[in-house]
């Protein structure tokens, strides 16, 4: 996790708290495919970030050298490696996770996560169940939930079937890469289709969000603009987190460039923007309407549809 200077939320302006919010760039497990791995990554991170923002993190649990701990923990599938905390204690990865879990449970009982972390109780329950299974050594159950355990068992099974294989064998490296392949040869895909991989989200829900943006952020308007541009033959010049530029053919086919700023990540929701989309039949009028919406002075449908 590291900070980034760009906020992805426009430029700082007085009275707009979102404009000064830089991001924390988290790339651990970017290739996570298992439902459990993905949910624990995102869910636990939300819980810990909430405690950080409220100043409730137990300083005793801070690692003395996080990068060294990361290397030692991640290279030890036996989970026996320990890392030093700032107070001098040494914790294994499981011990540290358990300590953080107990802190989170204590704050959850006081309602700290209500209205902040969606379905926090479910995340905590999954987290605790995962740690219990690790503590019991129940890797078979965890192989259905976590990518690294599933991949480890796939490699070990291949090595049992072919005793000539070593950890540095090319064949083992192929298995490693094939596990997370999104093509038809992906090993995780095979585990999922066979029913072995634990499913925490219904297939219908996944399919819905594969084609539908969230309704309560600027993502809805960004997606709808792209669909509208495609249907009307408007060329998309550039798309960024907080800005979109379109190349529009005007009179005598002379092009003009129009840019719409989507700086506030919690603005341009479906509830706010859909009336503008429905009222405007012309793409330029649509951009005008959205621009006025961003200033809090959305025009009436009669004005928006005027030529």
| Residue with more model confidence, 303 or 143 | 143
pLDDT greater than 50 at residue 258: yes
pLDDT tens for 47-60 read 999 999 999 999 99
Q: Which residues make beta-bridge pairs with 246?
A: 236, 258
**Banded model confidence at residue 296, pLDDT cuts 50, 70, 90:** low
Q: What is the mean pLDDT of residues 154-168?
A: 95
**Banded model confidence at residue 305, pLDDT cuts 50, 70, 90:** very low
* Gap between the Cα atoms of 114 and 227, Å rounded: 36
Phi, then psi, of 228 in degrees rounded to 5: -65, -40
Sheet holding 243-249, edge to edge: 235-239, 243-249, 255-261
Q: Which of 125, 106, 108 is nearest to 117 (CA)?
A: 108
In which residue are the tokens 């924390």 written?
24
Q: What is the DSSP secondary-structure string of 168-185?
A: T-HHHHHHHHHHT--STT
Cβ proximity of 244 and 236 under 8 Å: yes
Statement: 213-304 belongs to CATH 3.40.50: no
The alpha carbon of 155 is separated from its chain's Cα centroid by a whole number of angstroms, namely 28
Q: Where are the domains of the chain?
A: 31-208, 213-304
DSSP annotation of 300: P
pLDDT tens for 234-257 read 999 999 888 999 999 876 778 889
pLDDT of the residue at 23: 65
In which residue are the tokens 């989200």 written?
201
Q: Which residues make beta-bridge pairs with 243?
A: 261
* Gap between the Cα atoms of 157 and 155, Å rounded: 5
**Banded model confidence at residue 33, pLDDT cuts 50, 70, 90:** very high
Cβ proximity of 76 and 92 under 8 Å: no
Beta strands in 176-298 (DSSP E): 235-239, 243-249, 255-261
In which residue are the tokens 């793409």 written?
283
DSSP annotation of 306: -
Q: Which residues make beta-bridge pairs with 28?
A: none
Map residue 9 onto helix, strand or coil. Answer: coil
* Gap between the Cα atoms of 48 and 57, Å rounded: 8
pLDDT of the residue at 250: 73
The alpha carbon of 103 is separated from its chain's Cα centroid by a whole number of angstroms, namely 24
* Gap between the Cα atoms of 71 and 83, Å rounded: 10
Q: How far apart are the first and last CA of the chain?
A: 49
* Gap between the Cα atoms of 67 and 72, Å rounded: 9
Q: What is the DSSP secondary-structure string of 214-229?
A: -TTSTHHHHHHHHHHH
DSSP annotation of 85: B
């Amino acid at each position: 996790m590291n900070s980034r200077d760009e906020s992805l939320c426009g430029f700082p302006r007085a009275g707009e708290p979102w404009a000064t919010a830089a991001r924390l760039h988290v790339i651990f497990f970017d290739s996570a495919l298992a439902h459990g791995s993905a949910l624990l990554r995102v869910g636990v991170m939300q819980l810990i970030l909430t405690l950080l923002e409220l100043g409730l993190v137990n300083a005793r649990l801070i690692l003395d050298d996080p990068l060294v701990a990361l290397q030692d923990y991640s290279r030890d599938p036996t989970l026996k490696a320990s890392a030093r905390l700032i107070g001098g204690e040494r914790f294994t990865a499981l011990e540290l996770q358990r300590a953080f879990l107990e802190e989170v449970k204590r704050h959850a009982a006081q309602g700290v996560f209500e209205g902040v972390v969606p379905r926090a109780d479910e995340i905590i329950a999954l987290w605790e169940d995962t740690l219990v299974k690790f503590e019991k050594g129940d890797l078979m159950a965890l192989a259905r939930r976590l990518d690294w355990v599933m991949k480890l068992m796939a490699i070990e099974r291949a090595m049992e079937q072919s005793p000539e294989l070593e950890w540095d064998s090319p064949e083992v490296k192929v298995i490693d890469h094939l596990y997370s392949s999104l093509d038809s040869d992906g090993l995780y895909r095979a585990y999922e289709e066979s029913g072995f991989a634990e499913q925490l989200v219904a297939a219908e829900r996944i399919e819905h969000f594969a084609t539908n943006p969230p309704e309560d952020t600027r993502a809805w308007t960004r997606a709808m603009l792209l669909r509208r541009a495609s249907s009307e033959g408007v060329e998309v010049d550039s798309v960024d987190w907080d800005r979109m530029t379109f190349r529009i053919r005007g009179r005598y086919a002379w092009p003009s460039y129009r840019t719409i700023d989507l700086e506030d990540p919690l603005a341009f929701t479906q509830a706010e923007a859909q009336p503008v989309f429905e009222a405007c039949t012309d793409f330029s009028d649509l951009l005008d309407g959205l621009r006025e919406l961003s200033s809090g002075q959305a025009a009436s449908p009669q004005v928006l549809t005027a030529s």
